[in-house]
Amino acid sequence: MPEKWTNWARNQSSNPHNIFKPNSEGEISEIISLGVAERVKVRPIGNGHSFSSIGLTDGFLVSMDSMDRIISIDREKLQVTVGAGITIADLNEELHKIGFALPNLGDIDAQSLAGAIATGTHGTGINFNSISSAVVGIRIATGDGSILDISESKNSEFLAPSKVSLGALGIITSVTLQCVPAFNLKILEFTAKLPEIISRFEFEESNADFVEFFWFPHTELAEIKICNKTASPSSRTNRVSRFVNDEVLRNFGFNLINKFWLQFPNSVNRSVKSLIKENARPERIDASYKVFCSKRRVKFLEMEYSVPREYLFDAFREVQSVIERLSFPVTFPVEIRTLCADDIPLSMASERETGFIAVHLYNRAESKNFFHDVEKVMRRFHGRPHWGKIHNLDSMTLANLYPRWNEFTEARQALDPDGHFTNPYLERVLGY
């Protein structure tokens, strides 16, 4: 019986014909050739942190876990080449050791590097871009098993499409990243009434380096995170206090609370209001990746859409209305971020300054109707879904949302004309 594969959130699973864990590019090429010979689809998988069905297959599933090392370092150019299977968490540690950092990061670091860039994972900062924008080179095993070098000087026509590829162009074996010197961030976090937070967000968006906020459903409160680069050294922190806040309260305690709310949903409004208070946490300074990223151990489901920046708060207000009309509570905060436009064909921020709205539910909660209603809102504002998160759009709709859609489809036709790497998700979102 085939081994079952399940993602992190436990909302997606499949029974692949076989799960391979190659240690080299040569082994990957052999797997692809075997798939072609046996007419079995081949699908790469990272760390399983996508909530969509993007990684599912009943064919060959190729785990990149073993290809997780730094391959080369160019200190003069501040570039590093790493195996595609390295997690963001491990990559951050390795970069810090050599005095490098990525310019921007999301708030979760559990994903593999290849998985993060393939789905367009991002952070926040109206003058910054996603993790994929740091990619300056990729090695990829294509539909015929050959290894292709892609960079500005080699096969450059494929560079932009390969930065957010959905795993549809082939199996990424290594990635070359443009880094910056390691830097510290000063973070200010406080909780206040939502109108005050929105006003502060709009001010800090163009004045701070990185800013985002989280609205707590069923309350008038939100929390804002304002981060700025600083030359000051890391501040001393009480490790016990940090552990209690980050692990005991925000993870273990929050998980227990969600289990309670699942059984007694009518208690949510009252208990949330008693738990969430206006406050300010002490400012702290730390290495950038330690400020950007936090551990998320409570399993949840997520839908995230990007909209043109000018529509961000119109769309947010409608999402609030959706939540207010629900017959059940939303226990996770709604996350608001922004990014600068980029030139990546399938990026959520392709060719437009972008606002992001992410909604979450406890992974054991009923999500279908809620996500359906949020998606209806996003479609009215020309929303683009995060490829690794829950959505229901198809290729006919998606093609009209991306001005450089044809650039990606042409790259796919060139690198995998017979669809060796496809699955039902790609057939829906890309058309075959």
At 64, which amino acid appears? M
Tell me the sheet residues that pair with 45: 63
Provide the pLDDT for residue 243.
Answer: 44
Q: Say how far residue 252 (Cα) sits from the centre of its chain.
A: 23
- Strands 42-45 vs 60-63: parallel, antiparallel or unpaired: parallel
Class of domain 70-181: alpha beta
Maximum pairwise Cα distance, the chain: 62
Residue spans of the domains in the chain: they are 5-63, 70-181, 184-385
Intrachain domains 5-63 and 184-385 with the same fold: no
Q: What is the pLDDT of residue 367?
A: 72
CA distances from 121 to 86, 328, 335, 347, 409 (A): 15, 29, 14, 9, 21
At 236 the pLDDT is 74
pLDDT of 387:
98
5-63 sits in which CATH class? alpha beta
Instruction: Judge whether 53 and 61 are in contact, CB under 8 Å.
Output: no
184-385 maps to which CATH number? 3.40.462.10
Structure tokens belonging to residue 87: 């997690």
347, 118 in Cβ contact below 8 A?
no
What is the torsion angle, in degrees rounded to the nearest 10, for the CA atoms of residue 224, residue 230, residue 233 and residue 236? Answer: -10
Cα 33 to Cα 122: distance, rounded to the nearest angstrom: 33
Give the model's pLDDT for residue 1.
54
Q: Residue 270 has what pLDDT?
A: 62
**What pLDDT, on a 0 to 100 scale, did the predictor assign at position 316?**
98
Residue ranges, the chain, pLDDT below 70: 1-2, 237-274
Q: Provide the token pair at 106.
A: 């999301």
Q: Report pLDDT digits (tens) over 145-172.
A: 999 999 999 999 999 999 999 999 999 9
> Apex CA 339: angle with CA 401 and CA 391, to 5°?
45
Q: Please tell me the pTM assigned to this model.
A: 0.93
